[in-house]
Amino acid sequence: MEAPRIDIPDHAPHVLVVDDDRRLRDLLTRFLTENGYRVTAAASAAEARSKAESFLFDALVLDVMMPGESGFDYARSIRENSQIPILMLTARSDTSDRVKGLEIGADDYLPKPFEPRELLLRLGNILKRAWPAAGAPSGNVPELIYFGPFSYRFDRGELRRGDDIVRITEREREILTILGSATGDNVPREALAGNGAAANERTVDVQINRLRRKIEDDPANPIFLQTVRGIGYRLVIDR
């Protein structure tokens, strides 16, 4: 009998699970999905990098002991340009491993075997702590912005046209969050680029054009998402 399909909302946190143990990957994917997360799984650091080129993740559950590049090495490379929350998993109970992971920049550490509910609690905690750094509005940035018939809510990453939700990708959500947080100011192209290998001006322009097709009546002559020549882009919001 086929398992019932679980509908996860677009604004749910997206977690990347990296572990070479297929059984554990499947277990974590099922468990986190049942508890409201969107989940992508990878069997190695190399596969995780490939996934990160196409998706924006809210947190990383990372195994330490993997063939090839270890979880420690992968976490170290991530911390060179990203503050994504990292929960590390290991079969080792050695305190020195835990200290090493935290020194690299992991947010929390869970030895195997573990109780899935404990992982859920730890993951929820690091996401709460990291939320302000992950694009939540602060200071003078409002919780909700309006531009024409559209509204964008930062805490949910939710774009609406009137009462209707507009489906957007994670990269589009990230771009809207950055542009909206600038409250109408110019945003350089490099600030809109992601951290993956595909992060360059060309891909930013492609993503902007896709987003324009969702919010502009005439994408070739945009009213809201405007190009600032020689700099980048700006989102014209209602004051």
Whichever domain contains 123, its CATH number is 3.40.50.2300
What percent of the chain stands above pLDDT 90? 35
Dig out the tokens for 156 from the structure.
């949910």
- Categorise residue 184: left if φ over 0, alpha if ψ from -120 to 50, beta otherwise: left
100 and 197 share one domain: no
Whole-prediction pTM value? 0.56
Residue 96 inside a domain? The answer is yes
Residue 7 inside a domain? The answer is no
129 and 152 share one domain: no
Residue 149 inside a domain? The answer is yes
**HSE-up of residue 51 (Cα within 13 Å, Cβ side):** 17
Question: Domain residues for 37?
Answer: 14-134
Q: Mean pLDDT, to the nearest integer, of 56-60?
A: 86
Question: What pLDDT is attached to residue 136?
Answer: 40
Question: Is 219's pLDDT higher than 80?
Answer: yes
The contacts of residue 188 (CB under 8 Å, 6+ apart) are 231, 232
Return the axis-axis angle of helices 45-52 and 71-78, rounded to nearest 10°: 30
Question: Is 181's pLDDT higher than 50?
Answer: yes
The contacts of residue 164 (CB under 8 Å, 6+ apart) are none
Count of structural domains, the chain: 2
The residue ranking higher by pLDDT, 159 or 169, is: 159
92 pLDDT tier (thresholds 50, 70, 90): low
